[in-house]
Amino acid sequence: MSTTDHLEHVLHELAIIDQTLATSIELLRDAALTMAAESDRQQAANTARPLEGMPFTVKDVIDVAGARTTGGSKTRENIEPAHESAQVIQRLLHAGAIPVAKDSTSEFAIGDMHTPLKGPCSNPWDVSRWAGGSSSGTAATVATGVVPFGIGTDVNGSVRMPAAFCGVVGLKPTRGLVPSHGVMPMAWSTEVVGPLARDATTLREVFLVMRDSTPSAVPSPVPDRQLRLAVPQDDIFLDCDASVLAGLEDFLTTMQAYGTESVLTTMPEAAFAAQSTRQIVATESAYVHCHDSDLWREYTVFTQQRLQLGLSTKATDYIHAQHQSRALSRVLTAMLNDADAIVMPTVPGTAPKIADAMMTINDQEVETYLHQSRFVSLCSVTGFPAISFPTGFDHGGRPVSTMLIGAPRHEEQLIAIVETYQAHSDHHLVSPDYNRAA
């Protein structure tokens, strides 16, 4: 099948998926088919580029030339199309990849599941549940298998949480490693651009194109010596649904069979990560949007509340949160001096219900926004890289996920560990039957 024919099929499927899951802000049909024709020419001339003809979708806070960047907000519904693509998108274009859609996202990536332009983005494993935020449409679309990867942003788990809820692989790179020029700003202390993919091998191919030209700090993806994985045992990490802990144990057991050593440890400092991250993100987001304060009345109530939280944060509290982030960085550094990665759940439960925004942990309903980011915040506030990947399913058939944290610029090693796991497991190969679920 030619790239052009394949892209026609992908665009057709994306339109159908959007009707069921509310995944796309805009399909990039004309531009995608023009690029597909060029990919066919490249392949015919035996000059194929690294990602030749691979379709991908883009969270709608990232500029793609000729398309609007709405940030999921009605206040930007009629904004002029971007004149040029974000730098990270340009890198993917040069490698032959083809953007096919701008994806649904929480308003300004702030986190509300009820996106003004689309409504909530449904989870392909269970359409009564949320895909997660704020890279909602990206994770849901990748999970369907219609595209091999997508590009999102991660401010406080915004790549990793939807990856976990939708059963795909999501990478939060080291802060500053992937360029953010052409990305709608939210919180400069934590925001990064990251890929989502069905499997770790595809994610690695995409990440190598996205990152800057500085070589990795790791000479080879997996060291020749035995891998050591640090596994925190504090109450905060054990307060998870049983299916989540079973998935984490499946990962550890699988890796131990291939010579990996697991070391039980503690990290009491993790308890303050979520609050510190919330204060930093809310304060910086309020600053980003303060020049548009006249428009705030048109934002969703959730967005307004988050921005008001930022406005009401004292300077001393913001500075204290930054100090806590540096203290936590020292803790992670010390742990990673003795281990190749830190292992923990990505989120404490599976995808929350759209109707009431509640997450289930061991048959108990808890408020999603109070619990979902307690683990992902560790890397958000410190800038360390992390990868989320599927490690099983709960009793309702919804994905559960595990997260690895690595030292700065050790993304390739994290990806290689997940590749090893996925070579001996099949959770990432299972596809959601979202048509039946609808």
- Check: CB of residue 350 under 8 Å from CB of residue 360: yes
Catalytic, out of 39, 85, 122, 134: 134
Catalytic, out of 59, 102, 118, 172: 59
**Residue 162 parent element (H or E):** helix 160-166
Q: For 256-324, give the DSSP string.
A: HTTTPEEEEE--GGGGGHHHHHHHHHHHHHHHHHGGGGGGGGGS-HHHHHHHHHHHHS-HHHHHHHHHH
134 is catalytic: yes
- Check: CB of residue 28 under 8 Å from CB of residue 18: no
74 is catalytic: no
Which residue, 193, 413, 232, 249, is CA-closest to 328? Answer: 232
**Residue 393 parent element (H or E):** strand 386-393
- Check: CB of residue 29 under 8 Å from CB of residue 15: no
Cα Rg, the chain, nearest whole Å: 20
Amino acid identity at 65: A
**Residue 4 parent element (H or E):** helix 3-21
Does a cis peptide bond (omega within 30 degrees of 0) precede residue 134? yes
Q: Which residue has the tokens 């597909």?
A: 36
Q: Which residue has the tokens 């805009």?
A: 26
CA 109-280-165 angle, 5° bins: 40
- Check: CB of residue 119 under 8 Å from CB of residue 99: no
- What is the rounded end-to-end Cα distance, in angstroms, of the chain? 30
- CA dist 124 and 144 (Å) reads 7
180 is catalytic: no
Catalytic, out of 158, 180, 262, 325: 158
Q: Regarding beta strands 126-130 and 122-123, do their DSSP bridges make them parallel or antiparallel, or are they unpaired?
A: antiparallel
- Residues annotated as catalytic (active site), given as ranges: 59, 134, 158
